[in-house]
Structure 1
Amino acid sequence: MPVSQEPSNVPLLHALLAHVAFIRLAGFATGVLANWAPALFGYYAKYCAALAGRLDDIAFNFPTTVWAAVTINFGPRTVSLRHRDYANLAWGWCPITALGNFNPDVGGHLVLWDLKLVIRFPPGSTIAIPSGLLTHSNASIGGRETRFSVTQYTAGAIFRWVDQGCRTKEEFVKKMTASEYDAFLVTEEGRFNEGLAMYSTLDELRSSDAESDLSELDE
């Protein structure tokens, strides 16, 4: 459900979120995560279910998504400046879909600064990246061209809130003993490495029971 919006925008956002094209777009992104990082997909799905079980009035943006939030950039010439999304789940994947009418050979490229990659990113394409880890931006487009984007993500604080019994950190730790708090800190320190372990290798994907046929992937 759209929050923190101008009242005049809410009907339009509801209409977009209910449109079959956006529902399919969200479902495709979910399928990408499920096929290429099945353990990470399971992690997202688990926490979505936990939120739904805890908050009776929660309404996810799409019936086909495992992400809690969506941003629709209306452009008309959307350009993302160089940044990292620090508030997102640190090892989580963020699907980005480019829309509009522009020449992808000339502009609109996705730039992953840490990896020194510039990726052709034409309209209708979706890519999933760990946006909290990788510094990213996109190239500008022509003055008479249009570019829009749809991005899904989940804040890391949501996962922590669920892990803390649907409480803030302050509420969660205030009744802990010293030894319990020390154990909590150890768990917190290991969280990132546990998250990275949810990534899949190509060998793991080939040997999995995933529905997608990955047997012809090159090394």
Structure 2
Amino acid sequence: MSIYAPRLFARYQKCKDDLLDWRKMRWNFESSVFAACTWNFGRAVTRPHRDFGNLAAGWCPVTALGDYDPDLGGHIILWELRLIIRFPPGSTIFIPSAIVTHSNTPIRSHEKRHSFTQFTSGSLFRWVANRNMTDDEFLRHASPEQKAQRDKAAGTRWEDGLSYFSTLDELESLYSR
């Protein structure tokens, strides 16, 4: 993530740092910017879904594990992008799981497919933006200027989210040195 989306990575890192400054918290993995993780064991086949609680413009790394034939099943499907991607055990993909419907194809009955997913809830980013308060608490205590600034930001949230993604030109110039 730090290589392909450095601004998005920095946003996650700042959220993590702000949360750790606010309270002495124990992070799942010290070197990860993601606040939470999920392990799925057994057959780990998902139906089409979006993870609405995650940061809308954020990424979610998904790692496939297990013992299955990746030519016959376990592919990840990104529905709006109309992509079916071969996803062998040991592979990791970063997807915007809150805005792209995703699932994976079934595996054979004798096979095992596990997954490991990391994510950060959008509510943690809101908590940090609200100076460690819920939305309701923030609105009760915010000045008129702070409320106006928040309303203005809400109108450009989509563009703001896109600004954290790198373009191919930016990555090329960054890594061609």
Residue 132 (structure 2) aligned to one of 152, 163, 166? 166
TM-score by length of 2: 0.95
How many Å apart are 1:46 and its aligned residue?
0.7
The corresponding residue for 2:158 is: 192
How many Å apart are 1:163 and its aligned residue?
0.6
How many Å apart are 1:202 and its aligned residue?
1.4
Equivalent position SS for 1:174: helix
CA distance in 2, matches of 1:191, 1:60: 28
CA distance in 1, matches of 2:7, 2:124: 18
CA distance in 1, matches of 2:4, 2:84: 21
1:37 aligns with 2:37: no
Larger RCO: 1 or 2 (CA < 8 Å, sep 6+)? 2
Of Structure 1 and Structure 2, the greater helix share is in 1
CA distance in 2, matches of 1:84, 1:133: 6
Residues 145-165 of structure 1, C-alpha deviations (whole Å, 9 max, x = no match): 000000000000100000101
| Amino acid aligned to 1:96 | V
1:63 aligns with 2:30: yes
| Amino acid aligned to 2:154 | E
Equivalent position SS for 1:53: helix
Residues 146-192 of structure 1, C-alpha deviations (whole Å, 9 max, x = no match): 00000000000100000101001111111335554233211122223
| Amino acid aligned to 1:191 | R
Q: Unpaired runs of 5+ in structure 1?
A: 1-32, 209-213
CA distance in 1, matches of 2:58, 2:147: 26
Equivalent position SS for 2:153: helix
| Amino acid aligned to 1:44 | Y
TM-score by length of 1: 0.77
The corresponding residue for 2:122 is: 156
CA distance in 1, matches of 2:151, 2:157: 10
What aligned pairs does 1:86-97 form with structure 2 within 5 A after superposition? 86-97=52-63
The corresponding residue for 1:115 is: 81
Q: Unpaired runs of 5+ in structure 2?
A: none
Residues 180, 52 of structure 1: alpha-carbon distance in 2 compared, 3 angstrom cutoff: closer
| Amino acid aligned to 1:35 | I
Residues 177, 52 of structure 1: alpha-carbon distance in 2 compared, 3 angstrom cutoff: closer
CA distance in 2, matches of 1:35, 1:157: 25
CA distance in 1, matches of 2:6, 2:96: 15
Residues 180, 63 of structure 1: alpha-carbon distance in 2 compared, 3 angstrom cutoff: closer
Q: Which runs of 4+ in 1 moved over 6 A?
A: none
Give the length in aligned residue pairs. 176
CA distance in 2, matches of 1:178, 1:46: 26
Aligned Cα root-mean-square deviation (Å): 1.2
| Amino acid aligned to 1:185 | D
